Amino acid sequence: MIFPDYRARRLRKNERFRRMIRETTLSVDDFIYPLFVTHGKGVKRPIESMPGIFQLSIDLLAREVKEVDELGIPAVLLFGIPKKKDEAGSEAYAKSGIIQKAIKEIKGRVPEIIVITDVCLCEYTSHGHCGIIKDGDVDNDSTLELLSKMALSHVEAGADMVAPSDMMDGRVSEIRECLDDNAYEGIPIMSYAAKYASGFYGPFREAAKSYPQFGDRRSYQMDPANSDEAIREVSLDVEEGADIIMVKPAIAYLDIICRIKEEFDLPVAAYNVSGEYAMVKAAGKFGWIDEEKVMMECLLSIKRAGADIIVTYFAKEAAKIINE
């Protein structure tokens, strides 16, 4: 059927019609809200390149998580800023580490919220890389042991799910095995399965103080030019035991989200990263775009591409609009 028999505008006439044929809707259930936790008391340090996002000390964290919970957002994703960084990122897997303490505090105050932890060493190492350095590069196999130690210590502290974001080969099976050996076979893994070496992480590195002190992450994160490789990466993580597979970043990789959703039957998460957030905020501040409209459009596009779950710094703002 073509024009004039078919007129697409008939069903766009008014909001009722548009609502009736709408294919994708956002829900607060889709969101995970990332949080940056820091040592100290009463600390609420703004992150300049991410307006509205703060590094919070543990005493202020519970109030924030409570607000997230009251908005109906099911989960938070924790990132920690350690007191001291060293070559092996020791605070990452210390019992009294920042994340381990934060989990206990949250679980004590807002027990129902799903606490997910980022499992990666870059915030904790003095060199800012995601693992142990050998001969000027991150050594894969010796890093695996530390990652599983880190994941285990998060779960022991009460984390509900762990999210490895380091991009070492074999880390999902290593973490799975370690959790199972310690009777945590019921704890799921959300793996950053297709994580690209992206320029969009810029503001996060300010937020988490995790700039690599030399070189970059291209020897472990994926080349932005590749799509088939994402399928290989995800297949490996699925075989190794991932429960949720993630694509990161989101907006510049909607094609990848779409392919992954089509090829795999696990829940797909997408990380709407710091640079994507910062661009919308900055252009909105200048009045160059309608910030709220673009925010909702970005989130909707990620969902439309196939994501079941969206990790986003916009979660609270978007939830307020959805709940209105």
Catalytic residue (one of 101, 248, 281, 316): 248
**Does residue 118 interact with ligand PBG by CB under 6 A?**
yes
Q: Is 195 a catalytic residue?
A: yes
Site for ligand PBG in 246-275 (CB under 6 A): 273-274
Helix ranges restricted to H, 22-163: 58-70, 98-109, 140-157
**CA-based nearest residue to 110, from 154, 75, 77, 80:** 75
Site string for ligand PBG, 137-176 (x = CB under 6 A): ----------------------------x-----------
Instruction: State both tokens at 61.
Output: 């964290």
CB-based contact 199:275 (threshold 8 Å): yes
Amino acid residing at 189: I
Which residues lie closer than 8 Å to 103 by C-beta, 6 or more apart?
Answer: 78, 115, 117, 154, 157, 158, 159
Q: CA neighbours within 13 Å on the CB side: how many for 319?
A: 22
For the CB of residue 2, give the shortest distance to ligand PBG in the complex, in Å: 45
**Looking at 18-26, 41-49, 201-209, 260-268, which segment touches ligand PBG (CB under 6 A)?**
201-209
Q: How many residues sit close enough to ligand PBG to count as binding (CB under 6 A)? A: 12
Q: Is 248 a catalytic residue?
A: yes
Site string for ligand PBG, 202-221 (x = CB under 6 A): --xx----x------x----
CA 249 – CA 251 distance, rounded (Å): 6
**Looking at 12-20, 200-208, 286-294, 299-307, which segment touches ligand PBG (CB under 6 A)?**
200-208
CA 119 – CA 128 distance, rounded (Å): 14
For the CB of residue 129, give the shortest distance to ligand PBG in the complex, in Å: 9
Minimum CB distance to ligand PBG smaller for 55 or for 165:
165
Minimum CB distance to ligand PBG smaller for 173 or for 274:
274
**CA-based nearest residue to 156, from 218, 107, 89:** 107
**Does residue 233 interact with ligand PBG by CB under 6 A?**
no
DSSP 8-state class, residue 314: T
Residues of the shown chain interacting with ligand PBG in the complex, contacts defined by CB under 6 A = 118, 120, 122, 130, 165, 201, 204-205, 210, 217, 273-274
